[in-house]
């Protein structure tokens, strides 16, 4: 058994102010008994203006969120997962990068968001993450004392092959920090998270951004923790800061996979077009 927490935020454009919110909410989650705590995508800052983003960007070695989270994890003796923050890379490009810190303050693993949110939605809402961020190319797993973790970020949830590959590789819990738009969240957020949990027999922990942000965007919130049978163990509201917690019994992963052994039953197949039967037509 392990108690986990998902922190819901409404990050602004100032990393220092956002880090103060992280510290307050992490301490609240720790006081509630959580030993793994996850923050949302873009914890450090939500800033859609590229010039404004470049002005606050730092490389990993000097990033405020990285340093602050490392110190906080060590002080509290917890696994602290910064869902993601923008990191300046050596070539001048930007990574949407998540960090999992261990109880010693060290980085257990990093994960760069693989799938870029390049979409055109209704009502003129349009996003082009690939114009700003360099996509990652590696799925990541981490063995923690209470289970094997897989990693994803936000739009990754729409690519089930990532979750299946991590589950086949032994993931028992998959993290999904996010900053879902209100429009897409209202339509798809809960059903996608529950589907990924059910089809892979994994716990899902999804810390979300929520509310109207300083840069003008609106995010859906509803941070969630879901079990391998698709049951919602905890869910937050649709705006503002929140801390949700749940007790995870990792044995439920094996139990769900015994009941529905789809990972084991999967088969290779080919997709072929069907040619018309011209003789039958004649």
Ramachandran class of 97: left when φ > 0, alpha when ψ lies in -120 to 50, beta otherwise: beta
Q: Which of 41, 166, 172, 218 is catalytic?
A: 41
CA 250 to chain centroid: 19
CA–CA separation, 101 vs 199, rounded Å? 28
Comparing CA positions, the residue from 167, 93, 83 lying closest to residue 135 is: 93
Check the CA dihedral 148-153-154-160 and report its sign: negative
Longest dimension (CA), the chain: 80
8 Å CB contact between 113 and 162: no
Q: In sequence order, which ranges of the chain are alpha helices (DSSP H)?
A: 15-31, 50-56, 64-76, 160-168, 182-200, 251-259, 262-265, 278-281
Whether 154 sits among the annotated catalytic residues: the reply is yes
Does residue 60 carry a catalytic annotation? Answer: no
What would the two tokens of residue 242 be?
């929140």
DSSP state of 201: T
The three-class DSSP label of residue 236 is coil
- Give pairs for 161-164: CB < 8 Å, separation 24+: 162/114, 162/115, 163/196, 163/199, 163/200, 163/202, 164/199, 164/200, 164/263
Q: Considering 10, 113, 166, 218, which one is annotated as catalytic? A: 113
Query: Among residues 154, 166, 172, 218, which one is catalytic?
Result: 154
Show which residues are catalytic.
41, 113, 154
């Amino acid at each position: 058994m392990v108690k986990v927490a998902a922190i819901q935020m409404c990050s602004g454009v100032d990393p220092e102010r956002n880090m103060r919110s992280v510290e307050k909410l992490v301490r609240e989650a720790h006081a509630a008994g959580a030993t793994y705590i996850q923050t949302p995508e873009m914890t450090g800052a939500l800033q859609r203006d590229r010039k404004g983003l470049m002005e606050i960007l730092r490389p990993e070695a000097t990033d405020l969120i990285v340093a602050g989270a490392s110190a906080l994890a060590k002080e509290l003796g917890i696994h602290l997962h910064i869902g993601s923050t923008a990191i300046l890379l050596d070539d001048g490009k930007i990574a949407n990068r998540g960090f999992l810190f261990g109880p010693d303050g060290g980085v257990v693993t990093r994960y760069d968001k693989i799938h870029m949110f390049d979409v055109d939605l209704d009502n003129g809402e349009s996003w082009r993450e690939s114009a700003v961020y360099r996509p990652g190319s590696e799925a990541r797993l981490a063995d923690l004392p209470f289970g094997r973790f897989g990693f994803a970020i936000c739009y990754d949830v729409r690519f089930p092959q990532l979750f299946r590959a991590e589950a086949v590789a032994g993931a028992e819990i998959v993290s999904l920090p996010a900053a879902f738009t209100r429009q897409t969240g209202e339509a798809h957020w809960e059903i996608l998270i529950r589907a990924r949990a059910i089809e892979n027999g994994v716990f899902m922990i999804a810390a979300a951004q929520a509310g109207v942000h300083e840069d003008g965007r609106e995010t859906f919130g509803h941070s969630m923790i879901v079990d391998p049978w698709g049951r919602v163990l905890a869910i937050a509201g649709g705006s503002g800061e929140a801390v949700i917690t749940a007790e995870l019994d990792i044995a439920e992963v094996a139990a769900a996979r015994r009941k529905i052994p789809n990972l084991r039953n999967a088969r290779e197949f080919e997709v072929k077009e069907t040619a018309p039967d011209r003789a039958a037509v004649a």
